[in-house]
Structure 1
């Protein structure tokens, strides 16, 4: 198990390995990723066995059903993880890509070229699939990665990392490309967040508490991935059938993820028609409703909504519902309570959709589509390292490009400056 001394050694080795990874060919990287997928499938039974141990311990500790759903692996989810590794292998290699090139009036040829960040640290909670997603994207973009998952999935994550390292060994690449801190001690996590000498970038993924803790304590440059207090706004010119389908998918398809919606806003003009149908739909899933005075007329046993509900990411079968006057009222409400992750409007009115997309300051703004599409894999990125809600360096689902920086290569022929 990692301790304070061995953590330094791990970080040093990752830094050394990052220099090697930056020089790998695309063929070498893709071969390694496909080998990882092969090993993951071969080890599926072992991974599921240790995941069952994590699930058992979580239940004994009284964790909620939605929390346990997040950490649970199934044969289908392990296969999806393997498919994700293979999908990343098919993506274009961004390292060495020339973004732009020009000739100056002094005949210097300047090229802006993509390079890896170096060593990326990921601090996350209860999703074992993050282990493969983060490893694949970091590796393909030429970075070494140091993973620190939550204690609730320590058995699953440790097993998965060992499988990925075995694949690296098979193709004669250093296993220190993918590293795991298998000690959940919080003091060790604090030490990790201060390893500026070895770690180039830190990315937290998880609850608002975890993310804010990392942002406040880390001295390593940090990319803030956001909590998802996401809104679905049904405009008066919405297609009701589309709106109901999007509501069902965005709220109930998987409640424990950051791109599910937490608040439903409905224009007053269509509230009776839409909410009557929405009530029947949400009742099928036993969604707990927090409703304002108007919306409560359509939901039995609803709870009176409070400002705290407006700001809550439930991550469960719970939903806040408000009736609003118009699009401007909806925009004002969203901008007051949004965590700037993903916001959605359903409307057939082009002008209203345009107004909404211009006014809403979030990483992803959806028009007539479920917020569940706010996802790196769905965007064609081959998975994601997280969804950034900040504006510096990266924003929205972060794929390969977000894990790179650039350098300028300047070619001359003996020029000197006057």
Structure 2
């Protein structure tokens, strides 16, 4: 029998989705499963997006330009320039989801075998994108004790070598919810200028900042125009994960030109998605204000309940809709699977993502779990009661 490729063997499985078969079996067994494992919001998609799809009247479902339609890119500049990015449509490359924006950025900017530094824990699929792009991830550890703040710049410098080409940040962060401060971003700015590095800024959760905290992008910093590549998506902002539409933004003309060649190879992003997303830019601020209030309630509910459980520690995140919590357990992978396979409380259980999958360093995060607060307050309360009861009887409790 022919063998699969070495890359096929090396490609990591998603830690977010790998427990799905166990959850499916739990449901077949009649259990209610509270899904805190994946960032799929239950917030309704803006009506303007849905209406735009309903009102489509084209006669041919045609290819769009590889870089995205001019109408959509022009509309996007309205959104980003309200944020102070000062860009034009030529500096936007529309992608098939934020995931493709990341892979195109890696392939356009980093040579095979070169290195990208990423603070960990980080979005698990960065490992997969790096594998696809033949890029080496150099993790730099952030820790739960200080809420996963940016590691010291001196620690970054220890990792920098002639092969280092870029740093990736996700702000606000997935999986930790940490919101980077202006001071932290200024420090990264100096580092990128000193060593001539790209700074990839994954801003999928830009809208989700709490307690009046301000979102700062590297696009707001002086002197970084040729270094910054913003990676974005409509998935979280508009609760439109299934639209699979994102973009890459940079003022670096060489990166845009190189990225466009990769985009041409996959032909084009979807027409219907761009029509819907063009309408989405006009979503009123009131929509985001209500969403922010709802997520603040959910965050407070989850963090307060977690920290009341004996042996659990959970920092209070400044953004996104995730937390990483430390549990009194021997192994997060075993615990999360045990919850689905062997535990139930009042005929229910909780699905979570082991934090081990968000680290690149072997052995890191073994007693940590990521939880997404994408359920309503009532369901979160029930899920936390279930989790508290589970931790009382888990055989691997430490």
- TM-score after normalising by structure 1: 0.26
Compare relative contact order (CA 8 Å, sep 6+) and give the higher one, 1 or 2: 2
Structure with more strand by fraction: 1
- TM-score after normalising by structure 2: 0.26
- Give the greater-gyration-radius structure (CA): 1
